[in-house]
Chains A and B, each alone.
Chain A
Amino acid sequence: MTGVTDQEPGATPAIELRGIGKRFPGVVANDDVNLAILPGEVHAIVGENGAGKSTLMKILYGMQRPDEGEIRVAGEPVAFRSPKDAIAAGIGMVHQHFMLAGNLTVLENVVLGAEPRRFGALDWSEARWRLDAMARAHDTPLDPDRTVDSLSVGEKQRVEILKVLYRGARVLILDEPTGVLVPQEVDALFATLRELKAQGVTIAFISHKLHEVLAIADRVTVMRAGRTVTTVDAGSVTTGELAELMVGSELPSPSTRTTHVTDVPELEVAGLGARGEGDRWLVEGIDLSVRRGEIAGVAGVEGNGQAELVELLLGLRHADAGTIRLGGEDVTAWPTRRRREAGMGYVPEDRHARGLLLSAPLWENVMLGRQGAEPFAHRGILRPKAARERTREVIERFDVRTPGEHVAAHALSGGNQQKLIMGREILGLPKLLIAAHPTRGVDVGAQAAIWEEIRNARDAGLAVLLISADLDEIIGLSDRLHVMFRGRLVAELDPDEVTPEVLGSYMTGARGQVGAA
């Protein structure tokens, strides 16, 4: 490969990491990580989910302390005990999930925690003047008196960036900043970043979206399984080469698809839609069917209606239009419980929010979603013994690393929690499995195991609706592939033929615009 620059240029790096290691129970999150970010560059860090990017950034931002290794800022060794120390050293972080107070104004949010004071009182005019100067300097027009709740996602992100700059950051860490943005907002973000770069701000950009990385970054560091693999010049690699570096020697082989797809439709959705506030359609005109033995994928940039679609299918959200049929029966008016007990399995996108009772033991978690059905309950009376037996089966078959079924769910690692949920749903023998981002935030080993289990369940005749933003996952697993954009299914593609680039262009709306529907 050309353009590999393992040799660092002469300038003192703005940030340098040497031999960083970090272990969690059962997982090595970072191992011998070496990274040099030069002043004034946009440096992307790429890797698969679970490759250790986020851990690395948390270490750099003082949220976690490394077990070994050294951090240098502008050549000086530092030891951050908390984000405060990192901020003091001029490092700021823009989180993937915004940390803003929605009922406060832009100005209030920006100064929150770093308020300029005069005679003990808040000096609003000083704050306003500084924010104004900053916004003008960085060409980020924002009305400082609007409440954050009234801003779009892209604008909220800009507030986050201003917040960090306001605290004097010269190094900006952005954690998956484009995951929640629509394409125009991505363009706007990149324009802001280029502006910042021109003013000498150093930017570390974490992502797994390779085309975006190549569009904005000067150099790219690739992480794999907790290690830094190499650093390359963005101008001299292709997305394909980067992908190869990310997954190592074995690229996800276009898995020989022996088709098990039957022609019995398990899920049939017609004209499904739901309105949000202000009568705007969040999801509209969804026609979709999933047959037994088939994985139907729904690809899309997050926030394009996938979450709402899942809620509609589960009955957590009221359908304003259309019908849902499960196994031939119209379930549109059914409550969630009836749908779940009729055979809707669900792997939620956020296992802590929707998938687990963290403080409850594993065996109680395995009942969740089927607590009213055989074998876990009989005429409303629980049968803990059956639940414990099933839990042992899940632990055994899905390789959940735990000393037993009595442990509380919060004691398990993320990957093991996810395997528990996967096992619970699959051994519950559903007719349809709705899997939303099933491998998000799990380590590489668990990811492979979960993919394998989904394939096996499919081969055994299960209908699977897979929702994901991970291109490799969705192309690699799906038998049929839909693309969701702005609340609609805008394209149906053949996963055997489609490339990540083509799929990406549909996901961002560059192709297959609405109107075809």
Chain B
Amino acid sequence: MNQSIIKYILGKVLEIVGLLMVIPMITGIIYHEEEAFSFLFVGVLSFAIGCFTTRKKPSNTMFYLKEGCVVTSLSWILISVVGAIPFMLTGEIPNFIDAWFETASGFTTTGASILTDVEAISHTSLMWRSFTHWIGGMGVLVFLLAVIPMSGGSNINLMRAESPGPSVGKLVPKIKSSAAILYRIYLGMTVVQFVLLVIARMPAFDALCITFGSAGTGGFGVRNDSCGSYSALQQWITGVFCVLFGVNFNFYYFLIAREPKKSFRMEEVRVYFGIIGASVIIIFFNIMGMFNNALDALRAAFFQVGSIITTTGYSSVDFDLWPTLSKAILVMLMFIGACAGSTGGGFKVSRAIIASKTVFKEANSYIHPKSVKKIKMDGEVIEHDVLRSVNVYTITYLAIFIVSVLLVSIEGKDLVTSFTSVAATFNNIGPGLAKVGPAANYDCLSYFSKIVLTLDMIAGRLELFPLIILFHPAVLKEIFIRKKCSQRAS
């Protein structure tokens, strides 16, 4: 294990977090709020520590997948802890576990909150909460790759550990350019949504926070009823952009690269829109009776489906009151999640496609036991390794899920609450059902459950394995017992 490079990258991450705190600071200055000083203090401190650790480039800059996973997990734990400190200093969330839960929920783009009264929080802190969504959506390390001059191929291991999806490829030969293209698309779409919301007469502060929330598919709102009090047009814009941010970003890259054929050939994107369409239609007919006119019902159905499948977690109405069929569909969508290579979380549409194809293949082999059939996606054969990793991912996903539900149920809440609280945090959505539903929040849970759910959020965002690798005995041993040879190698 190359500790020096891990330390160096963590230092860089600290520097970046420090710099990012300029955004809430500016907000605080605009609104003349003294909370800005907390962010100033933490930002400067974090930046200074970062500079101190990175003052010397390590001589051995080689790192492998193992180091990539460790550094990614550690970075995410680090940023959620550092990002939580200002909340404690301002006194808005005095308890560390609560603040950590809230910040991790922000960076992992979950959007689950422990705050009972969001409107009582200062603009400064609200901006930071929403801004963590935007950073966490595309990933801190991808950001690092885009802005810091690095060369060599081994840093694909960083991108691999942080980017969602079963297989990670590059758009262009250089990883720095790939990361920069992703961030450019991301920034461009963010600006468009913000401008549209402002044109639709949303207050600029709300518009910015809501845009950050939907771009990162996070879901922190700035009002107690999430998006319920916004106008119909504003809700439509937010809903549509949630859906767009849940699309695999390769889709947009091909569009920009003038290869629309490749864009529309992407099976994952087509299935994704298919699922959205079907769910909207079913829920629409299911809830029509609850609304005065059909357009309102359609808007509510579309907004909720778009918000849940992309794992954003905004709500325009309290869907906890909807019929069971609609709620069941929403819970199902929570698990499917958005496309790979998007900012959304969940199991990912592409994995769902691959998994269901393997089931069909298996069924087929009962009928023709000697048949040879390769599973394809987008017209390309899927390598055995990818299939295997999807299968293993599924098992691990279920195992962690079950264990988490078990741990959360210790405190004795009802089953729906326990089940959906894990589903909503593990898949990075936000609101669940019953006591953690859209009209409620996570404050009612015990600290133990909050810690479990916080780790679930990070595990879900990093797609399980980087965090599991961190706790692998062999890796723990290497982290804590510094080997002499690691300094000699170059």
**A and B: bona fide binding partners:** no
